[in-house]
Structure 1
Amino acid sequence: MRLTEHTFRALAQPMIVGPASEFDRDFVTYFGCSPHSVAKAWNCNNFIGAKPKHLLWTLVWMNVYGTCLVTVDTTDVAIPEPPLKPGQERPRNNAGKQLPFNLKWYSKKVGGAALRYETAICIQTGDIVSINGPFPAGRWNDPKIFHNDLLARLGPEEMVEADGVYKGMPFDVRTPHDHINEADKKAKSHARARHEIILHRIKEWNCIGHRFKHSLEMHGMAFRAVVAMVQLMIEEGEIAFKVDY
């Protein structure tokens, strides 16, 4: 079955995030060649049992050939400190004095009690592809949350891009200092910056950005509802931040 470049343009549209005026340039960034060349490659070969989308997937793999598919980071969301259970006391410092906060919930980022969530964002599309949480911020650091779920779901030899907090996992995480040249360093920085922007957009919703007033059982539902709305905004091009990785 012979196909035209218009077929591959239509198939590629859901994969490419960005303004329509830059579609041709973005197509080459994703697939390594123009729609015309992709159509010619399809028509010159006998792809038994294959569909046109399979050719696009193969071209992405050949062109990108990256070990990292996602960036990973956490965000802390302020909450009122949960009350101690009957008979419990606040932890004490080395001098024996009770601390003014519960270490289980304490987050240095917010200066008080917080819940911590992990998010993973696709480097190529900018989509939010994974959420894990909530966790008590004082007991669950970033690497511990990463080992809790996402690490086990990575593909063979797949790694993630993350900040320096994840150091010590050279076969699982690429940190800011793990780069091969200046271009690679810049691409990694852009990917992490986009992740921070998306987390900022999540916190612009007051139920997440302000101290949560309802039960902790509702917090995970509220966070995921906000993430769903932010993801829809990404799909509609309202949060456009392209990364050439």
Structure 2
Amino acid sequence: MITEAAPRRALVTGASSGIGAATALRLTSEGWQVFALARRAEKLEHLAEQEGIIPLVCDVTDPEQVAGVVETITAAGGIDTLINNAGGALGVDPVGTGKVEDWRWMFEVNVLGTLNVTQAFLPMLREHGEGTVLNVTSTAGYTPYEGGGGYNAAKYGQHALTGVLRLEEAEHNIRVIDVLPGMVHTEEFTAKRLRGDTAAAQKVYAGVEKPLVAEDIAEVITNAVTLPHHVNLDQIVVRPVAQAAQHKVIRKN
């Protein structure tokens, strides 16, 4: 059990790049110890050089690998905060022609990955007495849009999981936070969704003077988890000013 005098400790999944990496770095700048988890060891190398960050290689969709991470973190002193950031989108096909394998991957990483890690760490967070679970979902989790069927479905599922978790874990004094980013310009998300078509990925942000970047979301996450524990920001929708709604984006030449 972590004592009050111990440093704050968090596990951040999907920490190899983008929002996850930015969050790990932002938390350590505030004096936290961070376990940075991702599938790709080579992508964690830059974080391994940062004081306060312990990189861990794990696929969140594999319960056995997650169980191994629990053992490692328990031996290292445990955590009080779990940040489920691992996720992603694949494809922009209509529902009528969407690839089942794409939908399956999105459901497994966004929903089942969050479930695997959360179930594994709930006993530790309950024992702590003031645990926090923060899930990075998406505005796609409550506003459907054309071409978003699989990602919408996965993020709706993760968003619902988060809401149910809050209801079920309040009696254990576990704070559950849902951060729902809108348009965020990161180096990998859209390019991966468009299967490596970087030119098409750049068009998504074309003309948007100030889209959000990973560091903006990391700032929001850090603020949410460092508030006094009795303060729960249930849902935080974060968009750039230029994105007034899912379907309305201001673009300038």
User: What is the TM-score normalised by the length of structure 2?
Assistant: 0.29
Q: Which of 1 and 2 has greater Rg?
A: 1
TM-score, length of structure 1 as denominator length: 0.30
